[in-house]
Structure 1
Amino acid sequence: MFSTIRSFLPKPLRDDKTVIPVVRLQGTIATPGPMRSSLSLSTVALPLEKAFSVKKAPAVALIVNSPGGSPVQSRLIFKRIRDLAKEKEKDVLVFVEDVAASGGYLISLAGDEIFVDPSSIVGSIGVVAAGFGFTEMIGKIGVERRVYTAGEKKVILDPFQPEVPEDVEYLKGLQQEIHETFVDLVKSRRGDVLTDDPDLFSGKFWTGRTAIQLGLADAIGDVRSVLKERYGEKAEPRLISAPRGLFGRRTGLGLGLSGQRLTEGLGEDLISAIENRSLWMRYGL
């Protein structure tokens, strides 16, 4: 009935567009801080819920641009996307911009199809932990390290104490478990198209064009072009964003910030900013 009436309306008044919700997933993946913008389940939960709630949309498009970060937050975001896709019965199309590496690629696996730019950086299916050792420095400046614990392994891998080979092996064991979880997820989502390249799960990364050849991605494409080709010229990508919070930053759950919490987080966020920058620089960005 409504479609019949609509056909008699002037063109400007006809609502015959196919709206495709688009959610941008950008940044390093970590629990957000008072002054730090990052990608986590808490920051993307609301826009994801809103995007998948657009009833007439045949699909949801995700723009991914992330060098990775927390494996836990990566998997939580992946799972939320897949749960919503199943619940709302919608296709998920992922579009990689500059980089989808490590946790960024894990999130991309939530897509039923993954599109890339020929020069996108894709892959880095591995786990890394890095730090510094200050044992000689504190001796030179006359600082004595005093640590008191209940539990002999409570200060494992303390940067102010000499490295213990047994502790390093323990850490590598944990990394191996996390890596296996990552690899299993890749195989479960893309096992039917993956090649048997021996470097596939080594932590190496590739350009978008090579990623397609390896089976890590499906095709070259950008959001606007692919959506119009698939859903018609009247397909309209519509960006769904999180609400803005303090200082205009995007927030996920609208969490309030006290003055004390804001002050306490500044030092931690400064260190995180340096770490985040190093992640992007690893891929030449």
Structure 2
Amino acid sequence: MEFFTEYASFLAKTVTLVIAILVVLASFAALRSKGRRKSAGQLQVSKLNDFYKGLRERLEQTLLDKDQLKALRKGQAKSEKKQKKKPDAKPRVFVLDFDGDIKASATESLRHEITALLTLATPKDEVVLRLESGGGMVHSYGLASSQLARVREAGVPLTVCIDKVAASGGYMMACIGEKIISAPFAILGSIGVVAQLPNVNRLLKKHDIDFEVLTAGEYKRTLTVFGENTEKGREKFQEDLDITHQLFKNFVARYRPQLAIDEVATGEVWLGIAALENKLVDELKTSDEYLAERAKQSEVYHLHYAERKSLQERIGMAASGSVDRVLLSWCSRLTQQRFW
């Protein structure tokens, strides 16, 4: 029994040592990769019409007998032949996905996808964005929204589909769409701004610990975590929040003038059914339903820009990803960063 105990202890120490070495190597790889130019990515394009066709044909093969299936295929062949003879090309629908985190990291792919499709898209086409985001940093979602605004400025119709959530910075992006389609129980709204941070100054004083905050510029630091906050600093911080909120309201009102902006810009959220009544969305429907309908009349293409990462980058990301998420979670609570 003592042998097994000693062996288990040795094994635990060995595993710990190996993991520590791997973490160190991964950290070095990540640091080295930061100084290098990112590897070129690749635009992946798939035709959703083929996907829907494959689903239908698989079901037909299962449910129909040979004679029925043969007759159906014959009719489909004739129909496709007639379609090819028509001189008018079908309109195109370009589908993009945005799954937003607190930093709006998906903007990096979105910017390239929009740049690519704008080289070919015309006002006869349509861009559909499947959007899921609960919001995040002001500057990050400001950039993501500016990318979508490029589509509107080019005169290409933009439709935004929301199946789960588009709140705060997510709704800031959604409002740029000429048409917003929401699932009945998706979460929308939260047109507001929030910032929070703890202050441990009294705890430090209790243990006779001094913390000095030196600044050049009256409002370089308004509120701090460790220093003593003042009423003047709080007032300035609140003023900055109010200004940011007003800019947010003006932005939403510009793209959705039908909204009673002062009534909905209270930071509240609504489910899709109530959001329709408040004119936050234009129609209740899932993105699957909408795209399946468009596929009957249009050529539907899904675009995704994927970054090519080296082996070092992949190792570094795997090792540091979890740590980054934890640090970001804590730092977001300790900084004065504004959030949509």
Q: Which residue of 199, 202, 219 maps to 2:266?
A: 202
CA distance in 2, matches of 1:276, 1:143: 25
Which one-letter code corresponds to 1:167 in the other structure? G
**SS of alignment partner, residue 240 of structure 1:** strand
- Per-residue CA distance 1:117-158 (angstroms, 9 max, x = gap): 111000000111011111233345664324444345433211
Q: Alignment partner of 1:122: what SS?
A: strand
Whether the 8 Å contact between 2:121 and 2:156 is mirrored in structure 1 is no
Aligned to 1:113: 179
Q: CA deviation at 1:78?
A: 2.0
Give the C-alpha shift of residue 181 in structure 1.
1.1
**Which of 79, 84, 90 is the equivalent residue of 2:156?**
90
Aligned residue in 2 for 1:28: 101
**Uncovered stretches (5+) of structure 1, i.e. residues with no partner:** 1-6, 32-37, 249-255, 278-285
Matched, 1:225 2:289: yes
From the CA coordinates, give the structure whose radius of gyration is larger: 2
SS in 2 for 1:242: strand
Given the alignment of the two structures, is residue 79 of structure 1 paired with residue 146 of structure 2, yes or no? yes
CA drift at 1:271? 2.2
- Post-superposition offset of 1:72: 2.5
Q: Offset of 1:24 from its aligned partner?
A: 0.8
The answer on whether the counterparts of 2:186 and 2:271 sit within 8 Å (CA) in structure 1 is yes
Q: Is the 8 A contact 2:187 2:269 kept in 1?
A: yes
Displacement of 1:224 after TM fit? 3.5
Match of 2:240 among 168, 174, 195: 174
Compared CA separation, residues 276 and 166, structure 1 to 2 (3 A): closer
Equivalent residue number for residue 117 of structure 2: 51
- Contact 1:71–1:103 at 8 Å: present in 2 too? yes
Match of 1:243 among 289, 296, 306: 306
Q: What does residue range 95-174 of structure 1 map to in structure 2 within 5 Å? A: 95-139=161-205, 143-174=209-240
User: Equivalents in 2 of 1:151, 1:161: separation in Å?
Assistant: 16
User: Offset at 1:49?
Assistant: 1.6
CA contact (8 A) 2:163 2:287 kept: no
Q: Compare the two structures and name the one with the higher helix fraction.
A: 2
Aligned residue type for 1:145: F
1:272 and 2:328 correspond: yes
The structural deviation recorded for 1:236 is 4.7
8 Å Cα contact 2:191/2:266 also seen in 1? yes
Gap change, CA 1:274 and 1:61, over 3 Å in 2: farther
> Cα–Cα, structure 1 residues 238 and 247, in superposed 2: closer, same or farther, change >3 Å?
farther
| CA-CA distance at 1:203 after TM superposition | 0.4
Letter in 1 for 2:201: T
* Alpha-carbon contact 1:117-1:220 (below 8 Å) kept: yes
Q: Which moved more, 1:124-133 or 1:67-76?
A: 67-76
Match of 1:281? none
- 113, 127, 132: which one aligns with 1:65: 132
Identity %: 23
CA RMSD of aligned residues (A): 3.7
Q: Secondary structure at the match of 1:206?
A: strand
* Number of residue pairs matched by the alignment: 252
Match of residue 18 from structure 2: none
CA contact 2:222–2:237 (8 Å) conserved in 1: no
Q: Give the TM-score normalised by the residue count of structure 2.
A: 0.63
- 2:289 partner amino acid: S
Change (3 A) 1:151 1:275: closer
Q: Kindly indicate whether the alpha-carbon contact (under 8 Å) linking 2:109 and 2:304 is maintained by their aligned counterparts in 1.
A: no
Partner SS, residue 226 of structure 1: helix
Q: Which moved more, 1:140-149 or 1:207-216?
A: 140-149
> How far does the alpha carbon of each residue in 1:179-226 deviate from its partner, in whole angstroms, 9 at most, with x for none?
11111122222222x247x64111000101111100111011223422
Q: Could you tell me the TM-score, scaled by structure 1's length?
A: 0.73
Give, as a single letter, the amino acid of the residue that structure 2 aligns with 1:235. Answer: S
Q: Give the Cα separation in 2 of the matches to 1:118 and 1:8.
A: 39
- What's the secondary structure of 2:301's corresponding residue? strand
Per the alignment, in what secondary structure is the counterpart of residue 160 of structure 1? coil
Q: Which amino acid aligns with 2:274?
A: T
Q: Is the 8 A contact 2:92 2:126 kept in 1?
A: no
- Which stretch of the first structure deviates more once superposed, 137-146 or 98-107? 137-146
